[in-house]
Amino acid sequence: MKKQILCLLFLFLLFPNALLAQETVAITIEGYIGDSAPKARIYEINGKMYQFPGNIVIRNQYGKRLTFNDLIGGVRVRVVGEKTVSENQKATITYKKIILLKGK
């Protein structure tokens, strides 16, 4: 019995995420910016509203660093993030970076 308890404790220490049953999936949103509020970091992309964190990385396709002021209507973007679903089925989306794409 002691060995089983020690094995379970050891597994919990080694793989805490496996026991918590969280699932992380990479997500990508690609489209054109419609309406925007740069100071509030709220943007409409393909008809759906998104609010981005202040520390998100914004770059053009060549790697040059940009700001929220560069995200204007009609610009094509790709947003990269992660969606984490916990064991109680609560989904959390974390946006990692915004990439400005060239052309239409």
Bigger pLDDT: 102 or 83?
Answer: 83
Q: Which pTM was predicted?
A: 0.73
The answer to whether residue 78 sits within a structural domain is yes
Residue of higher predicted confidence among 86 and 75 = 75
Q: CATH number, domain at 93?
A: 2.40.50.320
In a domain, 58, yes or no: yes
pLDDT recorded at residue 103: 64
Nearest to 43 by CA among 11, 60, 68, 80: 68
Query: Can you spell out the DSSP letters for 26-74?
Result: EEEEEEEEEEEETTTTEEEETTEEEE--TT-EEEETT--B--GGG--TT
Domain of residue 67 covers 21-100
**Considering the domain boundaries, does residue 76 fall inside one?**
yes
Which tens digit of pLDDT belongs to each residue from 30-80?
A: 999 998 888 889 999 999 999 999 899 999 999 999 999 888 889 999 999
Whether 88 is covered by a domain: the verdict is: yes
Any domain includes 55: yes
- The residue among 66, 72, 83, 70 whose CA lies nearest residue 44 is 72
- Residue 50 identity: Y
How many CA atoms does the CB half-sphere of 81 hold within 13 Å? 18
Nearby residues of 77 by Cβ (< 8 Å), 6 or more positions away: 30, 31, 32, 33, 45, 71, 98, 99, 100, 101
Domain count, the chain: 1
CA 94 remoteness from chain centre: 3
Question: Is 3 within a domain?
Answer: no
Average pLDDT (6-11) is 68
